[in-house]
Structure 1
Amino acid sequence: MRLPKLLFVLVASLLWLGGCALLHPFSAVQPGMSRDEVVARMGPPGAVVAIPQGTRLQYSGQPTGQFAFMVDLDASGRVSSVRQVLNARDFARIEPGKWTRDDVLREFGRPTLVDRVASWPGDILTYRWYDLQDLFYWVYLDGNQVVQRAHPGMEFRNDPEPRN
């Protein structure tokens, strides 16, 4: 009886790992690949931005997805790093009072939504992301396009109707 249970666990684990590869196709992008190889494999990026080391290809799932992959290329056009940046660790790098709209867009790509409210003097950039639950990350810009606040919040979607 132990063998079938072990076999089940092994098969389930392999299916899970295979599913992760399908959900995260950027695992196929490896350091040292050329820009042309990345584009042939992943398609054209949503944006291309200059970074001090070279160029960044942005592949964002925004506005409806919860990912943004940054493929950094060195000066020779080869992949130096690939990472998914919509996560708590990367959001924590935002420095209110120092970062600008351009910094946020370079590091995280396009937002899900750019909004304004009467109680805030500038734009609010909203990113959709996931960390054990559906979340938003809000970046508040002042009139000079400088970040003044940034924080996460819960996103409620597909919730059932309240019961009476």
Structure 2
Amino acid sequence: MNPAIAGSARRLTLTLAAALLCACTTLMPVQEGTKLVGQPKAAVQATFGPPTDIFNLPDGTSRWIYSKQPLGQYAYAAEFDRNGNLTSFRNVLSSLELYKAQVGTWTREDVAEHFGVTRLPVEYYPRMRREVWSYRFLHEDVWPSLFNFYFDDAGILRQTQITPDPLYDPDERRR
């Protein structure tokens, strides 16, 4: 075989293999992240790139958030132990995770640490005296929705609410 053709075929094969590997990481991040449990932070960053948010938690552990917001419906949390090794990787914008928010107890910082900083515009309703952070997600893994966190002026979570996502409402898109 001609060496030039063989070299081109090899490069094409390597390019396709790299593209398939990236596609797997993009299409199935929880499965790919779970395979990395026990690995150091460098392995997670090599696979997923730099995180959108980094939180050093009081117990010495850390959490990296990989947010697909503002238009995506997922945010992935990579949890690391005190030695910097991955202990879990999961989607935190799921119904079960969002329901963990504790009204009257959690603060803005707790919500940011658990779900990442909101990438949607922060709203303020003066009559309610509430600041609202919203996150896109699939309610019950089916319905495009917004999960809204309402904070009082002291930054305490006072209410949560699920609303349909207007981005997926055909009537809203025509406006």
Same fold by TM (over 0.5)? Answer: yes
Question: Which structure has more helix as a fraction of its residues?
Answer: 2
List alignment gaps of at least 5 residues for structure 2: 1-22
TM-score w.r.t. the length of structure 1 is 0.80
Partner of 1:122: 130
Identical aligned pairs, as a percentage?
Answer: 27
Number of aligned pairs?
Answer: 144
Which 4+ residue blocks in structure 1 deviate beyond 6 angstroms? none
Partner of 1:35: 41
List alignment gaps of at least 5 residues for structure 1: 1-18
Task: Work out which of the residue numbers 51, 61, 76 in structure 2 matches 1:69.
Answer: 76
Structure 2 contact 24–32 (Cα < 8 Å) conserved: no
TM-score w.r.t. the length of structure 2 is 0.76
Structure 1 contact 69–84 (Cα < 8 Å) conserved: yes
Structure 2 contact 25–48 (Cα < 8 Å) conserved: no
Could you tell me which amino acid in structure 2 is paired with residue 65 of structure 1? G
Structure 1 contact 53–73 (Cα < 8 Å) conserved: no
Is structure 2 residue 156 aligned with structure 1 residue 156? no
Partner of 1:9: none
Is structure 2 residue 57 aligned with structure 1 residue 47? no
Taking the aligned partners of 1:24 and 1:110, their CA distance within structure 2 comes to 23
Pair 1:160–1:46, CA change in 2 (3 A): closer
Q: CA RMSD in A?
A: 1.9
Taking the aligned partners of 1:93 and 1:26, their CA distance within structure 2 comes to 19
